[in-house]
Amino acid sequence: MLGQRIITAVILLAALLPALFAANPLPFQALTVLMIGAAGWEWARLNGVVAKPVAIACGLLLAAACWASFGLVSQTQVLAPCWWLALVCWVVGGTVALRVGPAGWPRLPSLARLVLGLVLLWLAWLAMARGRAIGVNFLLSVMCIVWVADISAYFGGRAFGRRKLAPTISPGKSWEGVYSGALGVFVLAFAWMALERQWPDGSRSVFAVLQQRWGLFGLLLCLVGLTALSVVGDLFESLVKRAAGAKDSSQLLPGHGGVLDRVDALLPVLPVAMALSQL
């Protein structure tokens, strides 16, 4: 299993990093549209779409919607309501989902569950594409919030975890892990800002943008909020999988599960980071 994880991770990085740093944004957009379409297919399967052609059609529809909205990436004012829509969906929808739990999720209207997931995936892709247009430094710093929060929470939870965060959804998560994740993100932010003047294209990170707009205390509050949302995204996908009786969203990524398993925490963080940085 570990060997599979490593090989898959190397292949993904070998495809993603050159596309991310390419001067032309098209390779990155094409690769991420492919991945988000796969995530749409996984979401449909996890939410009661049994017929394979229909699930595939959901993924293709989502990919087509992302590709068709590529022209919106440069229109900052047009996109602003999208980020607030994502924030409302995650705060309201995430609260409802976590409140009803794995047992209550399937009782919600199936069409509403399907549409909600596809819309959230589309908004996350749109935020990713907009972040890439702002600069690689900006997008990479947003993504690293999720990765560092997850890694810090894992080690902090193993070392200090006592109080369970959501035992019926993800028994391994603890409040101490969440606090460790936030602390890790604080360290990341200040280290990144200290070094980012050396960034080749001169673009700014999300940390520098948030500090300029909100001040130091506001930056810390934003980072706490983004860390919390990364946890919500992770718990939300875990809840949906438990409701569907699935361990992974799919087996598309050997050793890692599916695309949703890898991007769940990014889904709320990407658009909300855009909202906070552009308010």
164's CB contacts (< 8 A; 6+ apart) are 171, 173, 174, 175
Average pLDDT over residues 179-194: 94
Sequence-ordered list of residues with C-beta below 8 angstroms from that of 135, at least 6 positions apart, any chain: 201, 203, 204
Contacts of 127 (CB under 8 A, 6+ apart): 82, 83, 86, 270, 271, 273, 274
pLDDT band at 26 (very low <50, low <70, confident <90, very high): confident
Please give the Cα distance from 22 to 241 (Å, whole number): 35
State whether residue 120 is helix, strand or coil.
helix
Tell which wins on pLDDT, 25 or 272: 272
Q: Where are the domains of the chain?
A: 2-278
Nearest-5° angle of CA 176, CA 179, CA 196? 145
pLDDT at 48: 85
The number of residues making up the chain comes to 279
Is the pLDDT at 1 greater than 60, yes or no?
no
The rounded distance, in Å, linking the Cα atoms of 266 and 173 is: 17
Alpha-carbon span 94 to 232, nearest angstrom: 7
Reported as a single tens digit per residue, the pLDDT across 132-185 is: 988 899 999 999 999 999 999 989 888 887 888 888 888 888 889 999 999 999
Confidence band, pLDDT 50/70/90 cuts, at residue 193: very high
Q: Containing H/E element for 203?
A: none
Token digits of residue 137: 């430094």
Spatial CB neighbours of 193, under 8 Å, sequence gap ≥ 6: 205, 207, 208, 211
> Tokens 């549409």, residue?
115
Distance CA 35, CA 59 (A): 10
3-state secondary structure of 174: strand
Residue 174 has φ and ψ, to the nearest 5°, of: -135, 160
Place of tokens 């247009």: 133
Q: Over 90: is that where the pLDDT of 32 sits?
A: yes
Distant-in-sequence, close-in-space partners of 56: CB < 8 Å, separation ≥ 6 = 41
Pairwise CA distance, residues 234 & 157, whole Å: 15
- The per-residue pLDDT for 198 is 66
Average pLDDT of 177-197? 92
